[in-house]
Amino acid sequence: MTTNLSEENILKLLDEAARTDPNIKIIITIKQALEYIDTTIENNHGQLKTTIYHKSAWEPNILSYESDHLRHVHASNIYTMLVRAARICSTVEDFDMEQLSAEMILLVNGYPPKFIQHHLKDFFVTHDAVRVTEYNKIIYLNVGGELISTTYGTLTYVPNTKLSFFNSWPRDNRGHIFLDLPPDLFKYFLHQLRRWSIRGDRLANAVFEPPSWKVKDEFNEMIIALVAPVQCTKYRRVDDFTRREGSGAGRSCDTNETAGWTRFVDQAGTTIINHIPESGLRLCGGGSPGWLFGVYPSILYSTTIGTMCYVSPAGTPCARIAAQAVRVTHCGAYFVFDMPVAPECPLRACSIDQPMPF
């Protein structure tokens, strides 16, 4: 067991446990750290720290690169070693040490350096992660003709946005990333990002504030362009009035042509209904109406995952065979929905005009 209780309280609990059954004998050993299977668990001033435990008889022998196995088998060794380190090590420093140890083991067993580096990079890219040293890398930006410098960590503090994929942005003739934005507003925005990054603020509490009300609209437009998730600017607009709840029956359904990030506008309303349709079975231009079972996101630029339920011909509110996951993103003044493909026709999601926030 691991605990922050005092030694006196621990002994009292173990003594009570030992007296519950005369056939049970408890040998008590109390120390700051212990080894369990392949993990070392340490009580570090009241906080548990975990690292990989290497037995004294351990030897750096793994599947040799010269073996006749297919290359993906050798690649899986690298992946497994990194996943193990990521899951067990509670600090980045310990993970870095295990990564270095893994690289040495691979080299000893004949793995070519290029092969190792390729699959190390692939691991970090696959899991949307970078080495710690990358976070401190200086990035130079040409913002409206003014050269501004920051770090990789600050620039990518808000994940999965246009700004976090800055390498895809155009560059000037000196190789600097070019942003056609007002320098003063961008520096104010960058200052807020830097403060959050240094303090480690949770993004759920992050709200970008303009420097003054006079430039509020311009500042907010810049924020949407830089920080809003990609789906908040790249989506399909749907204004089909036949989708609205109560619009009547039809043969339309949600197909590949209507799948993907979608925003409902104008006659189609603004959102997918999040209640069981009450006006009968044949609604919304289809034969079986769809509704969202789940919670809409309440935090700006956040995404929730719900279930797209379809009312079955027998009247079941959420037929299991047809239910599918659907993502919803809060884009400020509107929601966007990652519409799934209906498993069959004529299943179709119903929309409604509903103001934000709920």
Residue-wise pLDDT tens digits, 14-63:
777 777 777 777 777 767 777 778 888 887 766 778 888 877 666 777 88
Closest to 327 in 3D by CA, of 311, 307, 309 = 307
Average pLDDT in the 293-315 region? Answer: 78
Residues 6+ apart with CB under 8 A from 143: 179, 181, 182, 183, 186, 187
The predicted pLDDT at position 128 comes to 60
CA angle, 66 then 67 then 68, to 5°? 120
Residues 6+ apart with CB under 8 A from 101: none
The predicted pLDDT at position 147 comes to 92
Contact 254, 335 (CB under 8 A): no
Residue-wise pLDDT tens digits, 143-186:
988 999 988 878 877 766 677 777 778 888 888 889 888 899 99
The predicted pLDDT at position 210 comes to 82
Average pLDDT in the 62-76 region? Answer: 87
Q: Which helix (H) or strand (E) holds 216?
A: helix 216-226
The predicted pLDDT at position 358 comes to 46
More confident residue, 212 or 45: 212
Residue 357 token pair:
């926030």
What is the number of residues in the chain?
358
Residue-wise pLDDT tens digits, 84-114:
888 888 877 788 888 888 888 888 888 888 8
Average pLDDT in the 72-87 region? Answer: 88
Q: Give me the phi and psi of 178, to 5 degrees please.
A: -105, 130
Average pLDDT in the 213-227 region? Answer: 82
d(CA 43, CA 45): 6
Residue 172 token pair:
């000037």
When mean pLDDT is compared over 142-146, 253-257, 348-352, the highest value belongs to: 142-146
When mean pLDDT is compared over 143-152, 237-246, 345-354, the highest value belongs to: 143-152
d(CA 306, CA 339): 11
- Domain residues of the chain, as ranges? 1-26, 31-128, 134-227, 236-352
Cα–Cα distance list, 105 to 72, 83, 238, 275 (Å) = 18, 16, 55, 57
DSSP sequence for 119-168 = HHHHHHHHTT---HHHHT-EEEEEETTEEEEEEHHHHTSS-SBTGGGGGG
Average pLDDT in the 219-230 region? Answer: 80
d(CA 98, CA 118): 18
Contact 35, 42 (CB under 8 A): no
pTM, two decimal places: 0.49
d(CA 162, CA 322): 34
Average pLDDT in the 203-208 region? Answer: 58
The alpha carbon dihedral of 90, 96, 101, 102 has a sign of positive
More confident residue, 93 or 306: 306
Residues 6+ apart with CB under 8 A from 53: 35, 36, 37, 38, 39, 40
Amino acid at 343: P
Produce one character per residue of 15-49: b if its CB has 16 or more CB atoms within 10 Å, e if not: eeeeeeeeeeeeeeeeeeeeeeeeebbbeeeeeee
**What's the mean pLDDT when you consider all of the chain?**
79
Q: Domain 134-227: what homologous superfamily? A: Potassium Channel Kv1.1; Chain A (3.30.710.10)
The predicted pLDDT at position 142 comes to 92
Contact 208, 202 (CB under 8 A): no
Produce one character per residue of 254-266: b if its CB has 16 or more CB atoms within 10 Å, e if not: beeebebbbbbee
Q: Give me the phi and psi of 284, to 5 degrees please.
A: 60, 30
Cα–Cα distance list, 1 to 34, 35, 53 (Å) = 10, 12, 17
The predicted pLDDT at position 204 comes to 46
Least confident among 15-24, 27-36, 217-226, 280-289? 280-289
Produce one character per residue of 197-226: b if its CB has 16 or more CB atoms within 10 Å, e if not: beeeeeeeebebebeeeeeeeebeebbbbb
Q: Which helix (H) or strand (E) holds 328?
A: strand 324-330
Average pLDDT in the 269-281 region? Answer: 74
More confident residue, 257 or 115: 115
